[in-house]
Amino acid sequence: MNEYKSLLKKGWLFFTVAIVFLWAKTYYALKTAFTLDIENNTQQFILAITPISSILFFLGLAFFFSPKRRNKAFMVIYSLMTFVLFANVVYFRFFNDFITLPVLMQYKNFLDLGGSAKALIHPTDILYWIDVVILIAWTVRQKTKPSMRFKKRTVAMLYATVLGIGAVNLSLANQERPELLTRTFDRMKLVKLLGIYNYHIYDSVMTANTSTKRVFADSDELTEVLNYVNGQQGKMGVQGKYYGKAAGKNVVLISLESTQNFVIDRKLHGQEITPFLNDLTDDSFYFKNFYHNTGQGKTSDSEFLLDNSMYGLSRGAVFTTNAGNEFNATPEILKEEGYTPVALHGNHDTFWNRDVMYKSLGYDRYFSKEEYNVTEENSVNYGLKDIPFFEQSMPMLKGLEEPYYAKFITMTNHYPYILDNEKMKMIEPAETGDGSVDRYFQTMRYQDEAVKKFFQMMKEQGEYKDTIFVLYGDHYGISDNHNRAMSEILGKEIRPFERVQLQKVPLIIHIPGMEGKEMNTVGSQVDLKPTILHLLGIKEKHDVQFGVDLFAKEREDLAIFRDGSVVTDKYVYAAKEDICYDKSTGEEIEDKTCAPLKQKAKKELELSDKVVHGDLLRFLEKNQKIEGKK
């Protein structure tokens, strides 16, 4: 008993128990909450030791506080580390990804999560907080409070241990994955081989590094990018056969929330999931090999790609991290051509920082939740349901000066895919046992009906004939966390090949009065800007864009993903697993076949990031003057 009191008085027992608690729940999360794909015993060992060095490092910081404040400091640090762990667990459940510092800048988004947030919280999550309660109770109720008195030599030994374990961890990690710290897009491997806390240290360093790039950027870097997009790729000025075919017409863009291409022409319980979109593809240009390029920015990334023909960032979202940049976006270009560019969305104007970013992109007006009549009955999750959204949007659209460029962002088909009114459920759910997947088809069917009603209203209001419609899926809806259920839906195993192919989203370009056709072209969201401008007969000026008109015969069949994956008409390269496939057979082939694609993706993504991080378009006018003198 005396030995116990002695340990307690010195704080050894308290400190040790706290370390064990935090290590145990961190290891539990790494094993059960995240899909880390442990491949061998070495990786299993790494997974077990990764939390130790960072736990000792951060908890050890409490010893630098005065004895009077040490316990409070310790519990604050302990609670913060618990919060970081828990936040990643919840975030991973939907996004199949880990939080980055730029994502935390989107904190306003989380205030509007509503039902999505509730669906991501599980009853067992209490396990992540029980130890915090126990330790707080310990410090409060013990008559002899743990004072955590340690000698300086002991603290020095503690941090020597931190360095030792950290060095072993990093050495083993580099053996398992050479160049680990340079492959920043692969957060899964960073967490698997460095641990969740060490990953956040690394992420913080990367954030600090990127934040300095704008300060040191110069016009020479823009020249390098322009040489690539103009010279090496010949992308600027590559026009398709339909150049100018929609000149002077209004443009209506419909962002189809979480819509993946596999639902098109698919039936569930004998019923079509998207009957209207299926019919529309027969009378439109339907691109069946079209992919999204989004990263952590999700819908906002798809918007950035659409308007700028540049890629989103590998970490965070341009909308929140670089909204003050100079852009040469489609709305700004069309405004110079006499168009009225607007965006319509039934959510708060601050969500994804749209109220700021839209001004930077050149939109004249943003019709957000404040302009709509949103009630408890006509809203769900993030905001206004799709049918009332389109209904209330029609007067706004009719009031615009023509021609207009109007972007509609739908919302109902958003995780957790809930319809609170039985009358809205026009198809029975699937029966995989995975609630998110099963309900997905119901909200998808509702979204399809909403788009149908919108087209009807456009015809009734006399807006249809002089408008071209561009409908595109913004990003995936079903993440890798639901592969078991998706295997059941698709009737096949979800390998890396299938995972990449599931990133297809529909692209439907409908031009009234023009006969459409099914297009086999391989393309992606980065190609939308030049495609739309060319249909309107507008030539790009000296500009940075990584996409090519989807109707151009000379274009390369290519889609580059934000994670480095690549799809062409012949090959599929899955970057996360570093596997090359023959697209026609789905069979693995030699890595060297995809090596040029891998390098091309790396180069293009790096150059796009350079433009955004360095705000290089601010040098565009200066570069034009230099080119003119030449």
Task: Calculate Rg over the CA atoms of the chain.
Answer: 27
**Residue whose token pair is 């700004």:** 332
193 neighbors 30 (Cβ within 8 angstroms): no
Catalytic (active-site) positions: 299
Closest CA to 218 of 543, 616, 620, 627: 616
Residue 451 CA to residue 302 CA, distance in Å, equals 19
Closest CA to 574 of 590, 561, 557: 561
Q: Is the peptide bond before 416 cis (omega within 30 degrees of 0)?
A: yes
**Residue whose token pair is 């690539």:** 228
Closest CA to 473 of 249, 245, 281: 281
The secondary structure element, H or E, covering residue 30 is helix 12-32
Residue 570 CA to residue 558 CA, distance in Å, equals 10
Phi and psi torsions of 259, nearest 5°: -95, 115
- 3-state SS, 426-454, equals CCCCCCCCCHHHHHHHHHHHHHHHHHHHH
Please tell me what DSSP assigns to residue 254: E
Q: Is the peptide bond before 596 cis (omega within 30 degrees of 0)?
A: no
Closest CA to 458 of 531, 517, 512, 509: 512
